[in-house]
Chains A and B, each alone.
Chain A
């Protein structure tokens, strides 16, 4: 096995490439989690907006329109979730899974009805999101392989991480949002409209979820496949837990998932069974989340032990 070939500098861009769809999902989950809404429906929002963006791109020939349509449908799905959860008392996990099921069914139905195939749809008429090509890098292999030909969405994803970080931790709105998530009753006492805040967050989450789907089908690939998200939405939720609702740390989590995905794919060339390669990102995701939450409980226990007598801590440890 040639490690030099697996771990070379092309790994940098591959990692970014594999992690971007998960990154968008993670951001969509992060912003709702800040308002204490667990956005299980990210997967469904991604899937349906991936489908819509392929449809619009195929029929209109404009990637920009396609992204807009994806965002609109993303917001629509998020609003169904929001109304169901906030107004009709639906359990958030239940309505989230319902949205996922709905997306799966509708896209399965739609791929036959609007695109005329089953399974996978790919066509040269699908216009993808343009790549950013910098001619000056062409002759330097390192720069060319690492920084050239990034998809527009990959750049935007990274920018979005810092935009969200800024909004959450440096603006009044962000502070209010975090207070809604921490302690809704206190927030309400302070004059914040909690319900309105939650609706706003769901709309933003829908927009980001729509971008995630559009990137998946127009940037990452240029096709649509039944259930093409393949758990990426849930990996995004996992990355959100890893980051503890902090977009920057969640991004690092996504990069970690993307990295294992890339390395796994390269290992396939060395005789690893394809199934092991395919299951690797899922196992890594579960491991990473478990370890990070384990660290979290340990540190929390330490914090508690300074105020509560040791006997009680021991009891808490059992639970």
Chain B
């Protein structure tokens, strides 16, 4: 237990060092462009936290990042590298929009629940496809999920341009019923009560993964499928379960966008939100406790980027560059092993272990 805590502390220290390094690289980049890095970061901070609009935008960015990050981590715990959250999100969103503007007579809360349920079911069914392909025939999940994202995007795009179009010129569906829209706060921004739903769901997922049988089975399969099978946990079932959960979360995120942010489905609205969630999860190495902090950090960076571009002229895409440098460093687990000699020994050991494992398989 003690060594665990020590490793965890080491992990957080590594993470902080990575943050500093990537911010430094970003500063150098900004300097090369002929701007003052200090000023640019100041504007970034202001753009993320100062003022109702800015802080609201940060919060509005935070909710989908948090949910999509969890949608990535849970299958990753069963060693399923799910890049398909983006597709789940689109299909969930279009389903929520369909339910939202069709059954107008229903009482508000019931209608909202119905929207969420349908979006979650569609998302889960969609994510069932790669899961089944993986467990039946060992089809590589990264490839299939990425390609399926495009399919999902075009399905949604077809629906919103064709049968479900509001016929207003822009590609969007009719607005959902008024009583289904989630309440907004910090008004000029897009922040809405969806964020509380996101936080509640996150807490539930954290509990589920750490203190329930389903969660235990998923984690156990990820750590050692052979052992799990030996003690009577079906790896197939756990992997499929984890993907169903992921799909449901993805669909729910889409639903929050439709009911909370826009009030209708907008073609191509996401632009890689789920991938940012995946980044947040990858950076912390799929850690449940640290993910919310990272999701918040990335959300702040992204909303601050707009303020930075407005006030100092530094292009906001530089923030994406900084985040991607951040993640390249963060995935290199052994990068900081030189910090302590003891750790170096242990990495050498585990390296030889992995060699053995490779050899066995």
Contacts and interface: CB of A to CB of B under 8 A. Distances in A.
- A joins B in a complex: yes
B64 to A, nearest CB: 17
Contact of A113 (B33, B133, B137, B139): B33
Interface in A210-248: 230-231, 234-235, 237-238, 241
Contacts of A183: 359
Given A241-B140, A273-B158, A275-B158, A102 B334 contact: no
A184 B147 contact: no
B157 interface: yes
A112 B315 contact: yes
Interface string A135-158: 000000000000000000000000
B148 interface: yes
User: Chain A interface mostly helix, strand, loop or mixed?
Assistant: helix
A112 B33 CA distance: 12
Interface string B133-149: 10011111011101110
Contact of B320 (A93, A109, A290, A297): A109
B137 A293 contact: yes
Contact of B282 (A97, A102, A278): A97
Interface residues of B, number: 53
Quick one: which of A105, A241, A285 has the most chain B CB within 10 A? A105
B315 A102 contact: no
Nearest to B275: A101
Given A89-B347, A98-B331, A184-B359, A275 B154 contact: yes
B81 A93 contact: yes
Contacts of A279: 150-151, 154-155
A234 B331 contact: no
* Shortest 7 CB-CB contacts between residues of A and residues of B: A185-B359, A88-B332, A105-B320, A275-B158, A279-B154, A102-B324, A109-B317
11 contacts: A36-B358, A93-B142, A101-B323, A101-B324, A101-B327, A104-B320, A234-B143, A237-B140, A275-B158, A279-B154, A282-B147
Interface of A: 36, 38, 40, 80, 84, 87-91, 93-99, 101-102, 104-106, 108-109, 112-113, 183-186, 230-231, 234-235, 237-238, 241, 273, 275-276, 278-279, 282-283, 285-286, 289-290, 293-294, 296-297, 319
